[in-house]
């Protein structure tokens, strides 16, 4: 009886070791000079046709997102549904290649904060699609740049815009301009 249990245990361990381990998507972000960049690398068995990032509804205007970066054949949109808004890249074509890093991004003149994300097998702006992977299954740090640490307290693992950043003006220059046009 003991031998049979040990044999079953050895066979189970061997099968688990021989089976390929499922990998989750890797999604990372970076922020530099108001350029938001993202890298999505699908894991084994993941057919990714859309990439969604939640953001505040105050930043849900597609015309505020410039110099969009995405793979050929992909589309970009900003969608609000109820009290949620999100940026989405999507395609009706082939999914992202498994294990290959794919780059997305845009320029947006707002400060960054940590936000949640998800990827789906359906190429759509609809958030009610079957989710392949999302940030709830990950622990990667958001890596907010130092000047924005105190501005951001949001949940999530990647950066996205939160609100406009005021640009300080030089009082001397403004006074000079006002006197020129009096």
pTM for this entry? 0.75
Residue with the two structure tokens 């009886």: 1
| Confidence class for position 15, pLDDT limits 50, 70, 90 | very low
| Confidence class for position 122, pLDDT limits 50, 70, 90 | very high
pLDDT for res 69: 97
pLDDT for res 161: 87
Locate the domains of the chain by residue range.
22-167
DSSP codes of every residue in 101-149: -EEEEEE-SEEEEEE-EEEESS-SS-S-SPEEEEGGG--------GGGG
Stronger pLDDT, 5 or 68, i.e. the higher one: 68
Which whole number is the average pLDDT over 79-106?
Answer: 94
Q: Given a cut of 60, is residue 178 above it in pLDDT? A: no
Least confident of 55-64, 105-114, 169-178: 169-178
DSSP codes of every residue in 15-34: HHHHSPPP---EEEEEEETT
| Burial call 127-144: b when 16+ CB within 10 Å, e when fewer | bebebbbbbeeeeeebeb
The CATH number that domain 22-167 falls under is 2.60.40
Stronger pLDDT, 160 or 41, i.e. the higher one: 41
Instruction: Read off the pLDDT of residues 128-164 as tens digits, 9 standing for 90 and up.
Output: 888 999 988 888 778 788 777 777 766 678 888 886 5
Tell me how far apart the alpha carbons of residues 28 and 40 are, in angstroms, rounded to a whole number. Answer: 7
Burial of 146 (0-12, 13-18, 19+ CB in 10 A): exposed
Which whole number is the average pLDDT over 90-112?
Answer: 95
Nearest 10 degrees: Cα torsion 67, 69, 75, 81: -80
Tell me how far apart the alpha carbons of residues 39 and 69 are, in angstroms, rounded to a whole number. Answer: 11
Least confident of 32-46, 56-70, 154-168: 154-168
Judge whether 147 and 166 are in contact, CB under 8 Å: no
Task: Give the rounded distance of the alpha carbon of 144 from its chain centre.
Answer: 13
Least confident of 18-22, 83-87, 150-154: 18-22
């Amino acid at each position: 009886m003991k031998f049979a249990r040990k044999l079953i245990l050895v066979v189970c361990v061997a099968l688990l070791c021989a089976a390929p381990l499922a990998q989750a998507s890797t999604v990372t972000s970076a922020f530099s000079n108001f350029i938001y960049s993202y890298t999505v690398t699908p894991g084994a068995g993941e057919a990714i046709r859309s990439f969604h990032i939640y953001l505040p509804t105050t930043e849900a205007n597609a015309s505020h997102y410039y110099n969009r970066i995405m793979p050929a054949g992909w589309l970009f949109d900003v969608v609000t549904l109820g009290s949620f808004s999100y940026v989405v890249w999507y395609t009706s074509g082939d999914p992202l290649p498994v294990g290959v890093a794919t780059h997305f991004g845009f320029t947006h003149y707002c400060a960054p904060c940590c936000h949640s994300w998800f990827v789906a097998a359906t190429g759509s702006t609809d958030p009610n699609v079957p989710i392949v992977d999302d940030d709830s299954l990950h622990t990667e740090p958001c890596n907010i740049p130092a000047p924005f640490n105190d501005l951001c307290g949001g949940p999530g693992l990647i950066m996205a815009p939160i609100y406009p950043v005021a640009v300080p003006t030089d009082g001397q220059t403004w006074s000079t301009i006002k006197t020129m046009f009096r």
